Amino acid sequence: MPSPITDLSKLCIHTITTKPWRLEEAVSRYAEAGVGGITVWRQALAGHSPSAAGDLIRGAGLKIVSLCRGGFFPARDALGRQAAIDENRRVIDEAASLGAPLIVLVCGAVPGLPLTEARRQIADGIAAVLPHAAASGVKLAIEPLHPMYADDRSAINTMKQAAAICAEVRSPWLGIAVDVYHVWWDPDLEEEIERAGRNGWLSAFHVCDWRTPTTDLLEDRGLPGEGCIPIRQIRAWVEHAGFDGWNEVEVFSRTRWAGDQAQFLRDITDSYLKAV
C-alpha cells in the first residue's frame, strides 16, 4: 500500500464534478483550495475560446491535466463514422488550443450494433485521428468504461480490451485512462495495470467511489471513501506500475450537484486525503 497522501499538489478535479460552477468559479475555487490540477469537460468551455480558457486556468496557477472527452466512434453507417472522426479532430484542436496534453476517450457504442463491430470501428477511428493528435502534440487515452455502459457509451469495458487496441495501434500518442469506478471489479485488474505500465500506456488515474446501493447508473457516484472501491490499493498498483501523474477526482452526483458546491469542494479535498 502506498502512504496516505499529505497534500493536494497531485489532486486534479474534473469540472463536471462541480457542474453547477461556471469555469471561472471552478478555477478560482480550486486554486484557492490548493488543488494542483484541473481536467476540463468540453461543456465547461461554452462561451470561452479554448485558448482564453487555457490562459484563465494557467493564470490561476492550475495545471491543465486533460480535456474530457473525445471518442464515440461507432455509428450505424459510414457517414456517422466520418462525422465522429471529424468531431474528434475538432476535440484535438480544442485540446491543443486549451493547452491540454491529453484527451480522454469514451469510445462509444450503439445499441444493437454488435459489440465486435463497435470494437473494430473504435480501433479504426482511433487510428484515423491519431496522426492529427500526434501532429498537435496531444495524447489520447482510452478509458475502459464499466460494462453497464456497453449498450450506448463504450464497447471497451476492460483494461485488457483497451490494451488490445494500444498493442494494435502502437503509438506513443495513445494510452489508457484508469478510472477505478469502471474497473475495480475486474479480476485481471492488477495484472493489466502492471502490463499497461510496462508498455508505457498508463496515462491517467481517475478516482471516485461505488455506493451501495447505487441508485442511478450515471449520476450516483460517491466521493472516495463513500463506497466499496479499494482506491488506495488500486493507486498502489498504478504507482507500482510506474505511473506518477495526477489523481483525478471525477464524481457525477445529482445529490452533490444539488447541494452547496463550496462545502462539496471541502468534502472532495478531505476525502482525497483520507481515502485516495
Interface contacts to a second copy, rule CB under 8 A:
111-112, 114-115, 119, 146-148, 150-152, 157-158, 160-161, 184-187, 210, 212-215, 217, 227-228, 230
Cell of 186: 475486474
**By three-state DSSP, how is residue 132 classified?**
helix
Closest CB 193 distance from a second copy, rounded Å: 15
Q: Which is nearer to a second copy, 71 or 227 (CB)?
A: 227
Nearer to a second copy, 104 or 183 (CB): 183
Which CB, 63 or 120, lies closer to a second copy? Answer: 120
Decide: 188 and 178 in contact? Cβ < 8 Å: no
**Residue number with CB closer to a second copy (220 or 248):** 220
What secondary structure letter does DSSP report for 222? Answer: B
For 7, other C-beta atoms within 10 Å of its C-beta total 10
CB of 142 to a second copy, least distance (A): 14
Q: How far is the CB of 214 from a second copy (least distance, A)?
A: 6
Least distance in angstroms from the C-beta of 14 to a second copy: 22
**Rg, the chain, Cα only:** 18
Q: Quick one: how far is CA 76 from the chain centroid?
A: 26
Least CB distance to a second copy at residue 190 (A): 9
CA torsion through residues 174, 139, 271, 268, sign: negative
CB within 8 Å of 213: residues ≥ 6 apart: none
- The CB-of-205 to a second copy minimum distance in angstroms stands at 19
Closest CA relative to residue 107, chosen from 158, 63, 66: 158
Residue number with CB closer to a second copy (138 or 234): 234
Least Å distance between CB 229 and a second copy? Answer: 9
Alpha carbon 159 to chain centroid, angstroms: 14
Based on CB atoms, which residue is closest to a second copy, 139 or 146?
A: 146
Choice between 65 and 163, CB closer to a second copy: 163
Query: What's the DSSP call for residue 176?
Result: E
CA–CA–CA angle 182, 106, 204 (5° rounding) = 65
Cα 73 from Cα 157, distance rounded (Å) = 15
